[in-house]
């Protein structure tokens, strides 16, 4: 798949991030509860701010998947491969007892990272 796989991964990731962003912005206490974290007003406010940022990232990911310059798409995929892996690790390090949602969220991050990695390897082969 190579470059097309990267484009599809960016679009799928953008969709997941857009959904996460809406959840973070509209229902921050639910997101925190799903992670098993406390849900105070200050933390909910922080989740809303993160939601806005994640929504912007989702839009950028979608737009970058449409780039005609393949080298730009590859560069974005490299950044997202690293970021998705770190998101998975950070989710596993949440300072509470992990919930099913925490494990699922981490697995999604690792899955996206793996998809980027596989497609980056395909692109780099002649």
Hey, where are the domains in the chain? 3-124
**Which helix (H) or strand (E) is 63 found in, with range?**
helix 41-65
pTM, entire model: 0.92
How many residues appear in the chain?
126
Q: How far is CA 103 from the centre of its chain?
A: 14
**Region at 96 (left for phi over 0; alpha for psi -120 to 50; beta for the rest):** beta
Give pLDDT tens digits along the chain (126 positions). 789 999 999 999 999 999 999 999 999 999 999 999 998 999 999 999 999 999 999 999 999 999 999 999 999 999 999 999 999 999 999 999 999 999 999 999 999 999 999 999 999 886
What 3-state class would DSSP assign to 40? coil
Q: What does the pLDDT read at residue 1?
A: 74
């Amino acid at each position: 798949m190579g470059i097309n796989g990267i484009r599809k991964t960016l679009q799928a990731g953008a969709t997941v991030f857009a959904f996460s962003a809406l959840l973070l912005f509209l229902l921050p206490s639910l997101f925190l509860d799903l992670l098993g974290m406390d849900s105070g007003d200050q933390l909910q406010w922080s989740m809303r701010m993160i939601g806005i940022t994640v929504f912007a990232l989702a839009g950028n990911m979608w737009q970058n998947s449409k780039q005609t310059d393949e080298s730009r798409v590859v560069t974005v995929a490299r950044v997202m491969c690293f970021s998705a892996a770190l998101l998975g690790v950070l989710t596993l390090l949440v300072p509470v007892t992990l919930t099913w949602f925490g494990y699922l969220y981490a697995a999604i991050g690792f899955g996206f990272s793996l998809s980027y990695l596989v497609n980056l390897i395909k692109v780099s082969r002649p």
